[in-house]
Amino acid sequence: MSGIKDLFPKSPFSNMLEHIDKVSQCIDKLELLFNELKAKNYDKVELLANDIVKLEEEADTIKDMIRKNITKNIMIPVDKGELLAILTAQDGIADVCEDIARLFTLRKMEIPDELQSAYQDLVDAILNSSKKAVAAVRDLGDLFEVGFKGPEVEKVTKIFDELEASEKAADEKGLEFTRKILALEGKESPVAIFMWLRIIKVMGDLANISEKLSNRFRLLLN
């Protein structure tokens, strides 16, 4: 038997915030990686990719700990399934960052001149959606403080609306990039085109999983 000192386990929300910090760092490193790729600094790309792999592992450790702590002995103010679904989605963001980074280490990819702006547009859209996801999760502490009601909910809902707009934009930019890449058939090496198509798909996943997070999170706000 234990005393009242064991009544209050660590808040799952603070753990979620620790996890999202790692995810945020992954996104930041990925942003740097995209820039270094543009500048063709392939060494730096390799280094950043390694950083992201390490960060993703650390995020996994925190995720496992959170999953272990949300047992049936604990009572939390939100649906456990929903919280864990959000956790899965935010961990998915770190996973996709890692996938993208890994892809760029497989081959020294060069961005064709006519595709520079399409590339940057897609990068901006997916980074925007994932950063919005981070911002929303970072609000979990305040949302809990006010009981998931009131102006904080409007604040977070707004973030999700912007996130969904970014995701739509990412879809469009991904499509545009794909068209422009395919238009280079014959001019570019088939391997390069093939790799770009794969990269575009995984980049799109970053926006998709961010939207998944926003969908699950919205369920908390009803």
Partner 1 sequence: MSIVFIVAVIACFYMAWNIGANDVANAMGTSVGSKAITLKQAVLIAAVFEFAGSVLVGAKVTQTISKGIVDPAFFGDNTVVFVYGMLLALIASGIWLQLATYFGWPVSTTHSIVGAVVGFGVAAGGAKYVKWDKIAGIASSWIISPIFGAVIAFMVFKIIEKLILERDNPIRRAKKVTPYLVFATVFILILSFIYEGLKNLKLDLGVVEVTLIAVGIAVVVALLSSISIKKIDETKSDNEYKTVENIFKYLQIMTACYVAFAHGANDVANAIGPLAGIVNVMATNTIASTSGVPLWILTLGGVGIVVGIATWGYKVIGTIGEKITEITPTRGFSAEFATATTVLMASKMGMPISTTHTLVGAVIGVALGRGLAALNVKVVKDIFASWIITIPFTAVLTVILYNICDLFLF
What is the contact surface with partner 1 in residues (CB under 8 A)? 1-14, 73-78, 142, 144-152
Q: Which is nearer to partner 1, 64 or 114 (CB)?
A: 64
Residue 39: both structure tokens together: 């500048």
Q: Which is nearer to partner 1, 64 or 142 (CB)?
A: 142
Question: Least distance to partner 1 from the beta carbon of 87, Å?
Answer: 15
Question: Least distance to partner 1 from the beta carbon of 212, Å?
Answer: 24
**For residues 131, 137, 141 and 145, what is the CA-based torsion angle, rounded to 10 degrees?**
110
Q: Which is nearer to partner 1, 3 or 190 (CB)?
A: 3
Question: Least distance to partner 1 from the beta carbon of 107, Å?
Answer: 43
Q: Which is nearer to partner 1, 79 or 161 (CB)?
A: 79
Residue 174: both structure tokens together: 């991904």
Write the DSSP string, 110-148. ---GGGHHHHHHHHHHHHHHHHHHHHHHHTHHHHHHTTS
What gap in Å lies between CA 22 and CA 62, rounded to an integer? Answer: 9
**∠ CA 75-130-180, rounded to 5°:** 150
Question: Least distance to partner 1 from the beta carbon of 154, Å?
Answer: 10
